[in-house]
Amino acid sequence: MPELPEVETVVRTLEHQISGRMITDVTVRYEKTVVGDPETFRKQLIRQHFRTFARRGKYLLFYLNDVILCVHLRMEGKFWLQKPEEPLNRHMHVLIDLDDGMQLRYHDTRKFGRMEILPLDTDLRTFHELGPEPFSEEFSRAYVHAYRIRHDMPLKSLLLDQRFVAGIGNIYADEILAACNLRPGRSCQRITAKDEENLIRETRRILKAAIAAGGTTIRSYTSSLGITGLFQTECTVHMMKTCARCGSDIHMKRIGGRSSYYCPHCQK
């Protein structure tokens, strides 16, 4: 389940592997992976070079000569760099041939991921209504305060709201709230200024550690040879049975349609 740290890892890995390569052909095997007409998509990519690589929230951005190739991996999307003669499997939905003879293969078991072509001058600040990056200065205490008092939702939903802050998914949301000793179901309107500071600090600390570790994941870690980073499982509450800090039984509750894990003893 790629969240910000996993996407960051994928971007850096691909930057290392395919920077400067030219796209010679594109095959779309599952049409819904591509936003818009697949043949138009193909034509817009052919003869383009991979120039620079970036991430915005959970979106991967490949800057080509004339367009941006924007990819969202959703839950299970991954890229494989293989030789064209290697066997395909039924989950490889988009094949991108490169001028060095390799093929970049988009693999997605659940077919949830999406790719789209964007103009080079797309405003990434307002792109998909994404909120600030967690490491940006814009994600300040004043910003958090202003946002949370304008909205009424559980803290868990706030962290998952991509308009609030970009890049946090279910796993890291649980971990951030555990680190702040806050229950996921607590109203975002009922926290203190100190909690706001803690949320910002712990969000950055946990995401930074996860990036350094090459990304964390729970179920999708199945040692794929895909470009997904070094997966580790360093969770303190998410999917855990007992609290890593006090040993209490971890509770699970559905909040905003998402399973949310927390320690009823440590988190208030």
In the list 88, 102, 118, 153, the residue contacting DNA (rule: CB under 7 A) is: 153
151 binds DNA (CB under 7 A): yes
In the list 124, 258, 264, 265, the residue contacting DNA (rule: CB under 7 A) is: 258
Q: In this chain, which stretch among 17-25, 61-69, 73-81, 225-233 interacts with DNA, using CB under 7 A?
A: 73-81
Closest CA to 28 of 12, 41, 16, 10: 41
Query: What is the C-alpha R_g of the chain?
Result: 20
Rounded least distance, CB 216 to DNA, Å: 12
Q: Do residues 91 and 17 touch, judged by C-beta distance below 8 A?
A: no
29 binds DNA (CB under 7 A): no
Rounded least distance, CB 248 to DNA, Å: 20
d(CA 29, CA 27): 6
Q: Do residues 244 and 261 touch, judged by C-beta distance below 8 A?
A: no
- Beta bridge partners, 187, equal 154
Counting residues that bind DNA (by CB under 7 A) gives 33
110 binds DNA (CB under 7 A): yes
Q: What are phi and psi of 159, to 5 degrees?
A: -65, -30
Closest CA to 106 of 143, 127, 87, 81: 81
Q: Do residues 98 and 130 touch, judged by C-beta distance below 8 A?
A: no
In the list 29, 42, 111, 253, the residue contacting DNA (rule: CB under 7 A) is: 111
144 binds DNA (CB under 7 A): no
45 binds DNA (CB under 7 A): no
125 binds DNA (CB under 7 A): no
229 binds DNA (CB under 7 A): no
d(CA 145, CA 149): 6
Q: Which residues are catalytic?
A: 2-3, 58, 258
The site for DNA (CB under 7 A) is made up of: 1, 3, 32, 57-58, 72, 74-76, 90-91, 109-112, 128-129, 150-154, 157, 160, 162, 169-171, 254, 256-259
